[in-house]
Amino acid sequence: MIFSKSYCPHSTRVKELFSSLGVQYNILELDQVDDGASVQEVLSEITNQITVPNVFVNKIHIGGCDRTFQAHQSGLLQKLLQEESAYDYDLIVIGGGSGGLACAQEAAILGKKVMVLDFVVPSPQGTSWGLGGTCVNVGCVPKKLMHQAALLGQALSDSRKFGWEYNQQAKHNWETMTEAIQNHIGSLNWSYRMSLREKAVTYVNSYGEFVEHHKIKATNRKGQETCYTAAKFVIATGERPRYLGIQGDKEYCITSDDLFSLPYCPGKTLVVGASYVALECAGFLAGIGLDVTVMVRSILLRGFDQEMAEKVGSYMEQHGVKFLRKFIPVMVQQLEKGPPGKLKVVAKSTEGPETVEGVYNTCDYINVPTTVFTPLEYGCCGLSEEKAIEVYKKENLEVYHTFFWPLEWTVAGRDNNTCYAKIICNKFNNNRVIGFHILGPNAGEVTQGFAVAMKCGLTKQLLDDTIGIHPTCGEVFTTLEITKSSGLDIAQKGC
């Protein structure tokens, strides 16, 4: 099907291509029908293409003139023009996040006919978002940018010690920050749609449900249903935040899904839970000047090294975050309507006669680098100290550790015994590094490089043989000397 205009030379080229291939085609000359402008407007909404020709082959949107010729040169056009298979698509991917998009585009590059179904069920507060999944819309990207906003606040405070003089009191504007972040996210949503279009992947903004083998029902936001069939399906739907299951939670509380696009400053905030998402959100909210309390059921950062987790919590407490430990909420009541309004939270102790039981699934962190973007970042790769002892036994391990003082912190007068580095080595495997942990500025950037080294079999000797870049935080791992087993003090006594 070719949507064309009779006078358009690009449309003529496409018609000539199909004719040369001996392919019969339907054509609609938009300049020769009364509702041509309306048709082009609808096409624009469906395909994000405002120009002609606009070409479809066997229900697949190919694009304009250049895209059609590119598809011809790559062999994709010929594949699509072959007899229809038993199914509408070779592959349907359910979920338009990082995994789903990567899978769909790779399959398309390999010449498969692919569709992506992506639909975000709005949160109880009505929040939804575009293509790209959790990471782009309500995860890594906005989280890191809000973390950066908080770090800039700390930098403003430090700047006076470096000679910057200013009289006006610095004040943070929530609306300015969220607008800038949402504009950036919008550009990423658009780029993902364009990337799918370039690879001739059909994108449908609908909710997918299996109805029978090889058949799926897609329901759009208007409730309209369409069925599609495919030889293969990939489910890449990801996860959403879990509500507490208590009175008032969905009515009055927000989750991280809502926070990053919240149109107003949340004000005094209670963060329930101590996962990395909870602590990251608490950290940047406190960093921009809000009153923040974290309610913790049991431990911080379950699944992570607990020595590092407690250091993260200690730093946050020193910088204004309050922790309410061994409590869980049982009811939320609204005292004043917002935004942001005023809520009352009733909680109970977990140390009383009533206990809370739950099932937790934690990710396998072995040699998968990760960073918690709390006010002081925590990066790690490999095993926690607890897990290493469980797997290898304490007597078979050597743990090297030290506090360190980033150069940027010296003039600012920030504490010299806060940033911390530690590696866990297997003594009977050439002192191979099986756990890497750092608490300090830019921990994510530091950890990423060392993660590659661990994939290559990093040992303590290799670290010792490496020349550090001075003055950096990462160089601390090239000069580690003190072991935990020695009992020597790692605190810095002076400059």
- CATH H-level superfamily of 1-84: Glutaredoxin (3.40.30.10)
Question: Residue 459 above 50 pLDDT?
Answer: yes
- At 24, the pLDDT band (50, 70, 90 cuts) reads confident
Q: pLDDT tens for residues 182-227?
A: 999 999 999 999 999 999 999 999 999 999 999 999 999 999 999 9
> Average pLDDT in the 121-136 region?
95
Tally Cβ neighbours within 10 Å of residue 331: 14
Q: What are the extents of the domains in the chain?
A: 1-84, 85-242, 264-349, 370-486
Q: Write down the pLDDT at residue 469.
A: 96
Q: Write down the pLDDT at residue 355.
A: 38
Is 379:446 a contact under the CB 8 Å cutoff? yes
d(CA 287, CA 402): 26
% of the chain with per-residue pLDDT over 70: 96
Tokens 């082009």 correspond to: 40
Residue of 10, 401, 437, 470 with catalytic role: 470
| Domain 85-242 shares a fold with domain 264-349 | yes
Question: Residue 168 above 90 pLDDT?
Answer: no
- At 85, the pLDDT band (50, 70, 90 cuts) reads low
Question: Residue 477 above 80 pLDDT?
Answer: yes
> Average pLDDT in the 6-15 region?
95
> What does the DSSP 8-state code read for residue 483?
B
Is 473:441 a contact under the CB 8 Å cutoff? yes
> Average pLDDT in the 56-65 region?
88
d(CA 52, CA 31): 11
- At 358, the pLDDT band (50, 70, 90 cuts) reads very low
d(CA 229, CA 328): 46
Question: Residue 364 above 60 pLDDT?
Answer: no
Asked if 319 is an active-site residue, the reply is no
> Average pLDDT in the 372-386 region?
97
Tokens 């923040």 correspond to: 292
d(CA 419, CA 375): 12
> Average pLDDT in the 449-462 region?
96
Question: Residue 356 above 90 pLDDT?
Answer: no
The residue among 51, 49, 65 whose CA lies nearest residue 11 is 65
Q: Mean pLDDT over all residues of the chain? A: 93
CA angle 85, 87, 93 (to 5 degrees): 125
Q: Please write down the long-range contacts of 383-386, taking CB distance under 8 Å and 24 or more positions apart.
A: 383/424, 383/434, 383/435, 384/303, 384/304, 384/305, 384/306, 384/308, 384/435, 384/437, 385/305, 385/306, 385/307, 385/422, 385/424, 385/435, 386/305, 386/306
pTM above 0.75, yes or no: yes
Q: pLDDT tens for residues 264-309?
A: 999 999 999 999 999 999 999 999 999 999 999 999 999 999 999 9
Q: Write down the pLDDT at residue 116.
A: 97
Question: Residue 495 above 60 pLDDT?
Answer: no
- Helices and strands counted in the chain (H then E): 16, 20
Q: pLDDT tens for residues 324-334?
A: 999 999 999 99
- At 180, the pLDDT band (50, 70, 90 cuts) reads very high
Q: Tell me the three state secondary structure of residue 274.
A: coil
- At 45, the pLDDT band (50, 70, 90 cuts) reads confident
473 token code pair = 């935080």
Q: Where are the beta strands (DSSP E) in 187-305?
A: 202-204, 207-212, 215-219, 225-235, 269-272, 292-296
Question: Residue 453 above 70 pLDDT?
Answer: yes
> What does the DSSP 8-state code read for residue 243?
P
Identify the weakest region by mean pLDDT among 45-59, 76-90, 100-114: 76-90
Q: Write down the pLDDT at residue 352.
A: 64
Q: Write down the pLDDT at residue 372.
A: 97
Q: Write down the pLDDT at residue 367.
A: 84
Q: Write down the pLDDT at residue 48.
A: 83
The fold adopted by the segment(s) 85-242 is FAD/NAD(P)-binding domain (3.50.50)
d(CA 133, CA 238): 8
Question: Residue 363 above 50 pLDDT?
Answer: no
Q: Write down the pLDDT at residue 366.
A: 64
DSSP 419-439: EEEEEEEETTTTTEEEEEEEE
The fold adopted by the segment(s) 370-486 is Enolase-like; domain 1 (3.30.390)
Identify the weakest region by mean pLDDT among 18-27, 75-84, 116-125, 143-152: 75-84
Choose the CATH number for 264-349 among 3.50.50.60, 3.40.50.880, 1.10.10.10, 1.10.1520.10. Answer: 3.50.50.60
